[in-house]
Structure 1
């Protein structure tokens, strides 16, 4: 049984609609000889002359005019099938809430990759303390929230990673004293609360020397020798190191959870959530 080439039919229709072989070639990103060859193959298969040359122009013959609407119908049916089976590109506005430290370490690479794959999605990102992101007065301002949660707290989110909380400092500045200088985020930060609770159970002398909500500010302070801090292992910046000193108390675990509450663009939210999970679980 003979079968028509849809590719040849598309070229045939393009020649008519674009007004010639050369313009059809530009439209389809093909050379004029390639266009001529496709038309020739179609004419040989149908045993009909589809174009007549008038001066420099190729005009459809009677058979060409007869074939044109039928070719259009076949192509439209073909394209409709693929449109029906191809997911629509993601689009919409998504409001993401993320802890400050993850905004500095996780976010840059993730957002670049996500935006390249889904350019029609507009991301509006807010970084803050997890406590503030999940507060009842602010929670509705976000479609998707990444937050730190104490393991013994029932927060209702999806657990992405049970992470270690670790002591962090500058490799060039080892601890040389029993006195601990701390560089911490403000009140309300889970790391701050955990560090203070653990140190209160120790006999070592400690003090807070610097407070800043921004991870970049904390890193700069640590590199200037102002002290050490604590973070989830997965949010560690590359220019700091995990401190393994037996004089420092263990800080336990922290849960990293996702709260997906987007009802307007649920597919977009789920897709970004999968991006975040894949990055954190590597």
Structure 2
């Protein structure tokens, strides 16, 4: 009978894929880089297949590596579930988690997936509202954890991620010349909306609000249809979007910060488990994939100094 695959090697293999490098994977699995490389050599020898090939300074999966990844994730999930089923100290209970829908769309799938695999006895209740409303719910004790746009003037949160805020338009539809900029933004108390308007006001550029919505899907649809310009965090950029720079007449924006709010009184084991998963997932998020044209525009824009926009309301 053929020797079984080594779970530890598969865990390292998946860590390399998820982090994008052997070095980062070594930190995640608490091994040296040489130990990680040795594990991959042994895994390749066991399968008699090459799993990675050089891609510039990094590595990418071979077709055989892509096939293995499907099985590896399935095997690790079953292994974790089996271990958890016999763990007398496993976490149980429920957590009420709040997040704006744009963060839910980008971040929550991985957070929920990773947490559920390692803590199957914990029920997660997800509530999507604005950061301002989530802050109020936290004050009333209606949520246990909230992922919000950090705004120290409005609420206390622990910053877990910082990333650029970008002007975006459709890559397939030209903007009208010599006309007020049509904008698709959140409601009036949205921090990103206030930052965008303040930035355009600071350079005297005319604009008008064409679409207002709390839904990031609606805002993105308006942008991709070529109907409006909006602002999006770097990780939320989508294929078909073009990042607008100062050369296009759009001033740089201050980066956004994402924070975690925690309700006092939640069992420390539960709180530590969910917040550590959130922090790890946000740290592992990479910018959304988009075309070379957008990438070059973003690189050019990101080298410019940030404009700190004043806002007096609550955030998205």
TM bucket (normalised to shorter chain) is 0.5 to 0.7
CA distance in 2 between counterparts of 1:137 and 1:162 reads 22
Q: Say if 1:137 and 1:97 are closer, same or farther in 2 by CA, change over 3 A.
A: closer
What is the DSSP-based 3-state SS (H/G/I as helix, E as strand, rest coil) of the residue aligned with 1:226?
coil
- 1:256 corresponds in structure 2 to 258
CA distance in 1 between counterparts of 2:184 and 2:149 reads 19
- 1:229 corresponds in structure 2 to 230
- 1:158 corresponds in structure 2 to 158
How many positions carry a matched residue from both structures? 197
Which structure 2 segments of 5+ residues have no match? 1-86, 285-316
CA distance in 2 between counterparts of 1:137 and 1:111 reads 20
Which structure 1 segments of 5+ residues have no match? 1-85
Give matches, 1:171-250, under 5 Å.
Answer: 171-178=171-178, 179-237=180-238, 240-246=241-247, 247-250=249-252
CA distance in 2 between counterparts of 1:170 and 1:220 reads 10
What is the DSSP-based 3-state SS (H/G/I as helix, E as strand, rest coil) of the residue aligned with 1:248?
coil
User: Deviation per CA, 1:107-151, whole angstroms, max 9, x where unpaired?
Assistant: 12321232232221111111111111112676521100111124x
How far did 1:237 drift?
Answer: 4.4
- 1:120 corresponds in structure 2 to 121
Q: Say if 1:209 and 1:196 are closer, same or farther in 2 by CA, change over 3 A.
A: same
What is the DSSP-based 3-state SS (H/G/I as helix, E as strand, rest coil) of the residue aligned with 1:140?
coil
- 1:168 corresponds in structure 2 to 168
What is the DSSP-based 3-state SS (H/G/I as helix, E as strand, rest coil) of the residue aligned with 1:125?
strand
TM-score normalised per structure 2? 0.56
Once superposed, what is the RMSD of the aligned Cα atoms?
2.4
Q: Which moved more, 1:261-270 or 1:192-201?
A: 261-270
Q: Say if 1:89 and 1:242 are closer, same or farther in 2 by CA, change over 3 A.
A: farther
Q: Say if 1:162 and 1:171 are closer, same or farther in 2 by CA, change over 3 A.
A: same
